[in-house]
Amino acid sequence: MTMILRYSPTSPYVRKISVAISELGLSGQIEHIATDPWNPETDLTAQNPLGKVPALITDSGEVLFDSHVICEYLDGLHRGPRLFPPERTARIQALQLEALGDGVLDAAVLAFIETHRRPEAHRWAVWVSRQRAAIDRSLAWLTEHIDLLGGQLHMGHLTVGCALGYLDFRLADLNWPERYPDLADWCREFSARESMRETIPSD
């Protein structure tokens, strides 16, 4: 039985998993099923009670949800270098970067939903400013710790790369590359990877 990934083409969390799938050489083992989590008639909630993508149905029929859980599961299906390093110090660094990247994604998604999905009369500018401030602080931290983005590829790199890509996709007015040129240089080089090029989101 082939594994099934319930996905939305614009979800940055799905992209994170898709990049991991490509890097791990698992593309041929996973069927992708497009899913609109905003559709009130979707059957997604029968598999993921949170009603969100991504959700992965394993070859044994088990349903996994949350991008971190899915990526850690997939990382155990191959024999190559791990995206979640087994050595303690390297693993903590990878998890720290993954957490920061996920936090940037969370803030960016919340800001986008507030300004594009919520009716204009009910939008909360203070909330959007709070999310954007969190993004800005995170990018400043990444710039100060740019050395952490080197070394052997791991889940932290993938998540940060997807987070920066999502900012370009949904919050381009932040103009973050102009303010963080060193980080932009890293992102440009990382985005040249085949796994990133084949997963660029589009509306």
183/72 Cα distance (integer angstroms): 26
49/62 Cα distance (integer angstroms): 14
The whole-number pLDDT of residue 126 equals 97
Give the pLDDT band of residue 145 (cuts 50, 70, 90).
Answer: very high
The whole-number pLDDT of residue 202 equals 87
- Provide the token pair at 103: 């936090």
Q: Which helix (H) or strand (E) holds 73?
A: helix 67-75
Give the pLDDT band of residue 141 (cuts 50, 70, 90).
Answer: very high
The answer to whether domain 88-196 has CATH 1.20.1050.10 is yes
State the Rg of the chain over Cα. 17
How many residues are present in the chain? 203
Question: Quick check: do 3-75 and 88-196 share a fold?
Answer: no
The whole-number pLDDT of residue 23 equals 97
Angle at alpha carbon of residue 14, lines to 46 and 190, rounded to 5°? 170
- Provide the token pair at 107: 């803030």
The whole-number pLDDT of residue 168 equals 98
197/154 Cα distance (integer angstroms): 18
Give the pLDDT band of residue 27 (cuts 50, 70, 90).
Answer: very high
The whole-number pLDDT of residue 163 equals 98
The whole-number pLDDT of residue 54 equals 97
The per-residue pLDDT of the chain, averaged, comes to: 96
The whole-number pLDDT of residue 203 equals 80
Cα-based distances in Å from 146 to 86, 179, 186: 22, 14, 9
Entry pTM: 0.96
Angle at which helix 67-75 crosses helix 12-24, to 10 degrees, equals: 0
The whole-number pLDDT of residue 117 equals 85
pLDDT at 148 > cutoff 70: yes
10/15 Cα distance (integer angstroms): 8
The whole-number pLDDT of residue 178 equals 98
> What digits encode the pLDDT tens for the residues 63-114?
999 999 999 999 999 989 999 999 999 999 999 999 999 999 999 999 999 9
Q: Where are the domains of the chain?
A: 3-75, 88-196
> What digits encode the pLDDT tens for the residues 42-70?
999 999 999 999 999 999 999 999 999 99
> What digits encode the pLDDT tens for the residues 3-21?
999 999 999 999 999 999 9
194/199 Cα distance (integer angstroms): 9
82/59 Cα distance (integer angstroms): 21
What's the CATH class of domain 3-75?
alpha beta
